[in-house]
Amino acid sequence: MSNKPLNPLELYKHLPKTNCGRCLLPSCLAFAAAVVSGDKKLTDCPFLIKEQLEQLSTGLQPRSKIEPDQVEFLNQLQEKIRSIDFEEIAPIIGATHRNDELIINALGKDFTIDRQGKIRSECHIIPWVTAPLLAYATNPTHQEITGTWITFRELQGGLDWQGLFTSRCERPLRQLADDHPTLLSDIIDLFMGKETEAFEADIALTLYPLPHVPLLICYQAPEEDLDSKLTIFFDACCAVNLHIQSIYSLCAGLIQMFDKIAQRHI
């Protein structure tokens, strides 16, 4: 095995692929994603033999290594922002430019990025928004909103992150919506969302976590013996405007924030 860290798809290839659920996750792919993110251990799958455990564990990053990587990633983005022409980039990415600062609206709130890559906002700066905001502003390619909605797995690179996206984003949000029936309507009010009739769902709402990164949440409430269903769609431009990892981070952060809102205010 190479020294390169394992990604969920590579790890999945080594699993039994029976989706038996003994690891307390619904599928081997979800297990692979959870192991890579540090939320599960290889030994939680009872079917991996000693040799496999030894071989696979060399490709996994210890949890403690993940944080410094993120710090390094942020440092790189802050370095990059110093060379960006704010005046030129602002209209392209749907931002405004004032006093050599870039102002980006996210979920109805203004976030101001200064020359050093520091962010300030009218509201509390939520750590998960920092890296995606800087990544969005420093992305060299950009596409206008297309109006075509696609699933996470259809985004470029989405397949590799699908397991994690399902377990950290779609599934917990579905559970929150089941437990707090007014949550999605409250999100519309709190974050300048828009309800849309275009989809067959009990509630379909669009949100703009970044100006040109729209997402659409479609929720079908449980009915008699049918489980509820929730899918998050993305405009086809999203994967051009933001790297898949940042899209995932943005969504995972959003769901954590919705969870806090549900616990505190609803």
Q: Which of 1, 13, 20, 263 binds ligand SF4 (CB under 6 A)?
A: 20
Tokens 């405009």 sit at which residue?
235
When asked if residue 256 is in the footprint of ligand SF4 (CB under 6 A), the reply is no
When asked if residue 53 is in the footprint of ligand SF4 (CB under 6 A), the reply is no
Q: Which of 1, 21, 69, 70 binds ligand SF4 (CB under 6 A)?
A: 21
**Among candidates 255, 107, 105, which has minimal Cα distance to 183?**
255
**Among candidates 252, 233, 259, 247, which has minimal Cα distance to 39?**
252
3-state helix/strand/coil string of 68-134: HHHHHHHHHHHHHHCCCCHHHHHHHHCCEEECCEEEEEECCEEEEECCCCCEEECCCCCHHHHHHHH
When asked if residue 56 is in the footprint of ligand SF4 (CB under 6 A), the reply is no
Question: In whole angstroms, how close is the CB of 40 to ligand SF4 at the nearest point?
Answer: 9
Tokens 């989809």 sit at which residue?
199
Q: Which of 6, 8, 31, 207 binds ligand SF4 (CB under 6 A)?
A: 31
When asked if residue 19 is in the footprint of ligand SF4 (CB under 6 A), the reply is yes
d(CA 262, CA 254): 12
Q: Which of 6, 8, 14, 28 binds ligand SF4 (CB under 6 A)?
A: 28
By C-beta, is 19 or 52 nearer to ligand SF4?
19
Q: Which residues bind ligand SF4 (CB under 6 A)?
A: 15-16, 18-23, 25, 28, 31, 45, 47
